[in-house]
Amino acid sequence: MSYVTIHRKVHLLVPALLAVALAACSDKDGSTPATAEDAPAPAPAAAPAEPAVSAKVQSMGTDQLRDSASTALRENRMYAPAGDNAMEYYLALRDKLPDDASIKSALTDLQPYTLIAAEQSLAREDFPEAQRLIALIEKVDPAAPALPRLKQGVDSGMQLVSRRTRDEADRARQDNENRARQQVEQQRLAQQLAAEAVAAQQLAARQEAARKESERLEAERQAAAKREADARAAAQQVAAAAKPAAPPPPPAAPTLRAVSTPAPRYPADALRSGTSGEVLVEITVGTDGSVTDARVLRATPPRVFDREALNAVKRWRFEPIASPTTTRRTLAFQPNQ
């Protein structure tokens, strides 16, 4: 197979391979960020760099390299797996045929996909794979603009993983210390609870003894009170037998039934200031139902509503009664009424 044929196949495969690579990038960008639990294990310290092209590939002849490169392209093995991909085969061919323009063009076409794969490896924190792909890119073009950024990404990523590993170790150590402190605290609390339980039992026993003693004393007090009450009752019976019959109690005060109880006028000053209060008045009602006397017993606030309260109750009328009676009424003053 000629170099021109190989170069033509590379150009024919580029659009399809580009679509696959872009889809892989889209999946990477839309995927859920890896959590601490999902993240891969931190990469070990970087070992001495492996050659970009494996010794096995370098040992192949040109015809075998051409066939292997064509097969790798058909099977979409542009840059992986290591030792069996189109990039390595073309790099080995370029070493053997440095002036072949078709090989250089094929490497130029494959380089963007290798770059995308390197960035994806960095995103996955797969630093060995990222370093392998960066070595391929660097072998294709040592002056590739993306190389400094990719190498910096590897260094920064490995430092980040190292810091995260240290942080996780610190958190684990802190968790262990916290658990140890919790165990000590739990033991202390258990001992404290046991001591409190013993103290509670002792207190309950003392309280029960005190309750029984209190019940005994109360029973004795009630017995003594009953004896004293019996003695007073007997003495009262003797005294009652010696005294004349008591006069009948005075008749109950007549019931007042209001006929007219006009509300008091709200003092203008109190209304403007929004002052509220109440007045307790004592009134005497004559037999005709009119109020014959009235006086203020208590006023809150003092001397604000007294006059209007007295003026109002003096106008009150009740149904006629058999005899004059005295009663008390409370008059409330509220600005919103």
Q: What is the pLDDT of residue 23?
A: 37
Question: What stretches of 243-289 show up as alpha helix (H) in DSSP?
Answer: 268-273
pLDDT score of 38 more than 50: no
Longest CA span, the chain = 153
Task: Tell the residue number behind the tokens 């106008």, with chain if given.
Answer: 315
Neighbours of 11 (CB within 10 A): 12
Amino acid letter for position 199: A
Q: What percent of the chain has pLDDT over 90?
A: 67
Q: What confidence tens digit (pLDDT) does each residue in 185-194 have?
A: 999 998 999 8
SS3 248: coil
Q: Is the predicted pLDDT of residue 164 greater than 50, yes or no?
A: yes
Average pLDDT taken over every residue of the chain? 84
CA distance 105 to 264: 111
CA torsion through residues 50, 55, 56, 60, sign: positive
Element (H, E) at 258: strand 258-260
Q: What does the pLDDT average to over 68-75?
A: 96
For residue 243, the model assigns a pLDDT of 60
Least confidently predicted of 12-26, 95-109, 122-136, 319-333: 12-26
Banded pLDDT at 327 (limits 50, 70, 90): very high
Confirm if 106 and 7 have CB atoms less than 8 A apart: yes
Q: What percent of the chain has pLDDT over 70?
A: 81
Q: Look up residue 39 and give its DSSP letter.
A: S
Q: What is the pLDDT of residue 48?
A: 57
Q: Indicate the length of the chain as a whole number.
A: 337
pLDDT of residue 115: 96
pTM (two decimals): 0.44
Residue 236: what pLDDT?
A: 85
Confidence at residue 39, expressed as pLDDT on a 0 to 100 scale: 46
CA distances (Å), 196 to each of 45, 193, 199, 209, 245, in order? Answer: 57, 5, 5, 20, 68
- pLDDT band (50, 70, 90) for residue 244: low
Confidence at residue 10, expressed as pLDDT on a 0 to 100 scale:
41
Least-confidence region, from 11-25, 66-80, 112-126, 197-211: 11-25
Task: Report the SS3 class of residue 281.
Answer: strand
pLDDT at 227: 86
The answer on pLDDT for 28 being more than 60 is no
Asked if residues 291 and 328 have their Cβ atoms less than 8 Å apart, the reply is no
Confidence class for position 267, pLDDT limits 50, 70, 90: very high
Give the strand pairing for 258-260 and 317-318: antiparallel
Domains of the chain, start order: 3-27+39-144 (no CATH), 258-333 (3.30.2420.10)
Band of the pLDDT at 249, cuts 50, 70, 90? Answer: low
State phi, psi for 295 to the nearest 5 degrees. Answer: -150, 155
Of 245 and 299, the one with more pLDDT: 299
At residue 250 the predicted structure's pLDDT band, cuts being 50, 70 and 90, is low
42 pLDDT higher than 60: no
Query: 291-320: string of b/e by CB count within 10 Å (b at 16+)?
Result: beebebeebeeeebbbebbbebbeebebee
